[in-house]
A and B are shown apart, each in its own frame.
Chain A
């Protein structure tokens, strides 16, 4: 994976609707196959990954999906309670359950993001704060959509600037240093080969560069196969008009439509390769009704092939 799996912490981000969760899980499967103890962290409480593996949804706990692959859904409120329990014992527990304190903490700008990324950071530590928890070799974060994703990566630093002293500032500084360490933390952009997602990926790259970070890999998801060459497309275009069978006309139009998309995909992919220094790989469109374990394993295969 172009060294991606050598990081301990990998953020997977991209425009909404491009298949971030799917790709994050496929990376997780591939890492687990290579013998890395891996966890995929979801931040949106959707528990999509557990559902893809037909698991009973267990929120906010580390759940093993397959040998070597776990998942967790991170929630700020829950992360705060855990943090307080570990840091301040019974008093912290009481505080964590105090409604007033909860409102205060959650209303503090950036606090939700800091708590979330704090939990991610904790998962990536060799010495886990959570008692009895074994360390992971790789933590993959199914991060929020591009704009919010960058905000999330930036949170510890901005927070450290607000809270100049005290444990939170120290914690935020430690997390910020971890994120800035490009050997430790990797960033993957997922996009589809369309105008807007490609623009967003290029902008994301610029924004990360502004923060001293960068993209380690770009994964172009859901790329259509191109089954027809130019001459065939012309032949089909003629048939789409001339054929007397409406079934044939429909089938040929569908073929032309997918051909047009495939052409767009190739052009957009070329834009990415041109504009970005990071390696760009593609994953095929999965023509399936639903993404289950089988499709995810197939995507992991495709990832493996793409990076060979």
Chain B
């Protein structure tokens, strides 16, 4: 199975996984491969390696997709018949644009953007990256300019943060819980009063602990949002529908480290429970078994004969180290395979260097877009 087959008929591809497993590179490689096959593709990424961003001509933060010049790709050895677009997400700006779009008038948008709670919400809080990434994805998808959107999810320790955080923020914006505590008086823009249920002890403690100013800030924030909370609810429902649609594919990106595999298995289960369409897993940086069941020391004598005892000995020492990783990787992959059942699992080898230029990206793309047989041949080339 190649990525092209996995994504056949899909409009949205979300690459999830824990931090440090190569999500950004994988997302870019997927977008590149699909563009090579003729699709108009945009990849939305959070924080690409600087050199890769430079190689693609993505220096400036634009917060809108920009087309990667085909000449750059051709210079790196890739002719594409489609179009590759890329953008780096600016969470704060995406949030501001969302407010601009939803607010009934410019004044209200300006007031909201000046509100302290909003400023905190849109910049300092973890969760805003996840929330805005999804918001951007949704808008791009609705505008319909692309055949395929590839989302590189924000870096986080837990893959699941990505699924939880937008919901937390949305429920805050909807203000369901807060409406119980905070009742905006009739008109907007007037001083907000914080109303408790009489002198209820619960409310007294709340006031004592949180401080009244926080509450009145929140109160004015929700006063400003007013009916917009309904828009947030509507949007949240539409976003959820987009993520659950059969035209969306969630790919899990992982390394072969035990904890990354644990996360991948857990992530897959959560996708399933949430009714989100899981398409397959990509395991990066795999150390392949070079020994075909043998032991490193089997090679000691032939190596010593060919390159001498000293150098040969160090090659064997290195092979011992390598073999430990190869064994670990094969065991991890077997574990992931059991958890995935029949779902596709694609392996990308551990390259000599991290991917940070177009040539490196192409190398990944070639693996991801190869058929099973081709991939097996490419791996055989690596190992012997």
Contact present for B21 and A17 (CB under 8 Å): yes
Given A15-B20, A227-B318, A249-B384: A163 and B209 interface contact (C-beta under 8 Å): no
Per-residue 0/1 for A101-119: is the Cβ within 8 Å of any B Cβ (1 yes, 0 no)?
1011011111001000000
Tally B residues with Cβ within 8 Å of A: 79
Contact present for A109 and B117 (CB under 8 Å): yes
Contact present for B354 and A163 (CB under 8 Å): no
User: For residue A15, which residues in chain B have a CB less than 8 angstroms away from its CB?
Assistant: 19-20, 155
Tell me whether B212 is interfacial, beta carbon within 8 Å: yes
* CB under 8 Å from chain B, chain A span 74-107: 84, 87-88, 91-92, 94-95, 98, 100-101, 103-104, 106-107
Contact present for B209 and A287 (CB under 8 Å): no
User: For residue A17, which residues in chain B have a CB less than 8 angstroms away from its CB?
Assistant: 18-21, 255, 257, 260
Interface of B is mostly: helix
With beta carbons under 8 angstroms apart, the residue of B120, B205, B291 that contacts A247 is B291
How far apart are A300's CB and chain B's nearest CB, in angstroms?
20
**Closest residue to A290 on the B side, CB-wise?**
B258
Contact present for A247 and B307 (CB under 8 Å): no
How far apart are B371's CB and chain A's nearest CB, in angstroms?
24
Tell me whether B50 is interfacial, beta carbon within 8 Å: yes
Given A232-B311, A258-B318: A239 and B156 interface contact (C-beta under 8 Å): no
User: For residue B321, which residues in chain A have a CB less than 8 angstroms away from its CB?
Assistant: 258, 285, 287
- What interface size band does chain A fall in? 35 or more
Distance between Cα atoms of A249 and B380 in the complex (Å): 12
User: For residue A56, which residues in chain B have a CB less than 8 angstroms away from its CB?
Assistant: none
With beta carbons under 8 angstroms apart, the residue of A44, A168, A254 that contacts B319 is A254
Tell me whether A67 is interfacial, beta carbon within 8 Å: no
With beta carbons under 8 angstroms apart, the residue of B158, B311, B384 that contacts A250 is B384
Distance between Cα atoms of A17 and B178 in the complex (Å): 37
Contact present for B126 and A144 (CB under 8 Å): yes
Per-residue 0/1 for A181-201: is the Cβ within 8 Å of any B Cβ (1 yes, 0 no)?
000000000000011110110
Contact present for B354 and A196 (CB under 8 Å): yes
Tell me whether A212 is interfacial, beta carbon within 8 Å: no
Contact present for A250 and B291 (CB under 8 Å): yes
Contact present for B205 and A91 (CB under 8 Å): yes
User: For residue B121, which residues in chain A have a CB less than 8 angstroms away from its CB?
Assistant: 109
User: For residue A145, which residues in chain B have a CB less than 8 angstroms away from its CB?
Assistant: 19, 155-157
**Closest residue to B181 on the A side, CB-wise?**
A104
Q: Which of A23-31, A32-40, A124-132, A154-162 contacts B (4 or more CB under 8 A)?
A: A154-162
User: For residue A246, which residues in chain B have a CB less than 8 angstroms away from its CB?
Assistant: 384
Given A15-B19, A195-B354: A110 and B155 interface contact (C-beta under 8 Å): no
With beta carbons under 8 angstroms apart, the residue of B158, B210, B255 that contacts A44 is B158
* CB under 8 Å from chain A, chain B span 259-284: 259-260
Distance between Cα atoms of A246 and B381 in the complex (Å): 11
Distance between Cα atoms of A249 and B168 in the complex (Å): 54
Tell me whether B214 is interfacial, beta carbon within 8 Å: yes
- Excluding A163-B213, A243-B306, 5 further A-B contacts by CB distance (< 8 Å) are A17-B260, A84-B209, A95-B206, A255-B319, A290-B328
Please give the residue numbers on chain B whose beta carbons come within 8 Å of chain A beta carbons, in ascending order: 18-21, 47, 49-51, 116-117, 120-121, 124-126, 129, 155-158, 168, 171-172, 176-178, 180-181, 201-202, 205-206, 208-214, 217-218, 255, 257-260, 290-291, 294, 296, 298-299, 302-303, 306-307, 311, 314-322, 324-325, 327-328, 331, 350, 352-354, 356, 382-384
The 3 A-B residue pairs with the shortest CB-CB distance, nearest first, are A16-B19, A17-B20, A166-B211
